[in-house]
Amino acid sequence: MSEKKVIAVVGATGAQGGGLVRAILADREGPFVARAITRKPDSEKARALAGLGVEVVAGDADDPPSLDRAFAGASGVFCVTNFWEHSSAEREGAQAAAMARATRKAGVQHVIWSTLEDTREWVPLDDGRLPTLQGKYKVPHFDSKGAVDRVFAEEAAPTTYLLASFYWDNFIFFGMGPRKGPEGELVLALPLGGAKLPGIASEDVGKCAYGLFRRGTGTVGQRFGVAGDILSGPEMAAKMGRALGRNVRFDDVPFDVYRGLGFPGADDLGNMFQFQAMLGDEFLRRRDPERSRSLNPELLSFDAWLGANVGRIPID
Ligand SMILES: NC(=O)c1ccc[n+]([C@@H]2O[C@H](COP(=O)([O-])OP(=O)(O)OC[C@H]3O[C@@H](n4cnc5c(N)ncnc54)[C@H](OP(=O)(O)O)[C@@H]3O)[C@@H](O)[C@H]2O)c1
């Protein structure tokens, strides 16, 4: 019988949790085994994990009793929510709080909660620089996560807080890659307000989480922002251009213009980028690539990520 400790991984079929599961699998001599938590144990992704020898257990953050069953007997739990599936800050908060409570009920030793800043600590609701969204949020997909940190501190098993950065994978999957400009050149358009952007390969978020589980409960109560590189818009465009063998120009889109683009989440993302610019160096200090590399020695730089992924960036 295995003497290894079980890490129950929410989001195991997704980017962050998947990166953690693969990190656990890769460390064959390591102290952990992964348990993949999914709402759909019969899905292709879940069956692929089972095929790798991972225990797959049903669990749904909208169904708290299912979490009790999913976390039972685990030594560690990785908690992540997917705001973008429903875009409701209230629902995301309820899901995260349910996970927090279930970890304590299960008697788990170490939890990693994938959170983000509650931007309202810096930008109160009456600050007109950022429009208020969903009634009481400035950056809904940040605030709803950050607001639940208190629940983790008070009602979860011992928790370490992990803060991800902008995934470079957004250039592939989230429609943020370069577009053709008026003269046929490629244009990378993001609203950065002249600020630098901490970014990371989504796979590396889970690998950093693995580094935290390896460090153990000494990190409990601490916050770890993770990033692979911190780059300006023109620096990202130049690197992307070199990787593509094409000229890529950076267009720093005004925040109001971006918020008005009309795609789902444009207002939330516009506020997010503006918040990052408003926080400036403080936002960057919270996501230190060197500290991230100490958790995950394989952490990719943007150049390394481009080297592996440039062919997947869709060019219109
Ligand atoms: N994109 C970015 O640049 C970025 C940067 C920082 C943070 N984030 C945050 O990352 C989060 C998403 O993480 P991700 O990128 O790893 O997600 P993802 O790749 O889109 O996958 C979502 C995962 O969440 C699971 N899930 C969703 N709803 C669930 C529920 N009710 N109960 C149990 N599991 C559920 C899904 O599992 P099943 O479908 O198998 O059940 C799936 O594994 C978002 O909240 C976002 O705000 C994104």
Do the Cβ atoms of 159 and 111 come closer than 8 Å? yes
pTM: 0.98
Question: CA distances (Å), 109 to each of 14, 20, 105, 212, in order?
Answer: 24, 17, 11, 13
Is the beta carbon of 144 within 6 A of some atom in ligand 1? no
Is the beta carbon of 137 within 6 A of some atom in ligand 1? no
Q: For 213-261, where are the E strands, in sequence order? A: 223-225, 229-231, 248-252
Question: CA distances (Å), 280 to each of 69, 201, 260, 272, 287, in order?
Answer: 43, 22, 23, 12, 12
Is the beta carbon of 81 within 6 A of some atom in ligand 1? yes
pLDDT tens across the length of the chain (316 residues): 459 999 999 999 999 999 999 999 999 999 999 999 999 999 999 999 999 999 999 999 999 999 999 999 999 999 999 999 999 999 999 999 999 999 999 999 999 999 999 999 999 999 999 999 999 999 999 999 999 999 999 999 999 999 999 999 999 999 899 999 988 899 999 999 999 999 999 999 999 999 999 999 999 999 999 999 999 999 999 999 999 999 999 999 999 999 999 999 999 999 999 999 999 999 999 999 999 999 999 999 999 999 999 999 998 6
CA-to-CA distance for 78 and 263, rounded, in angstroms?
Answer: 31
Per-residue tokens: 147: 């607001």
Residue nearest to atom 45 of ligand 1 (CA): 82
Is the beta carbon of 15 within 6 A of some atom in ligand 1? yes
Nearest-CA neighbor of 257 among 266, 244, 249, 246?
266
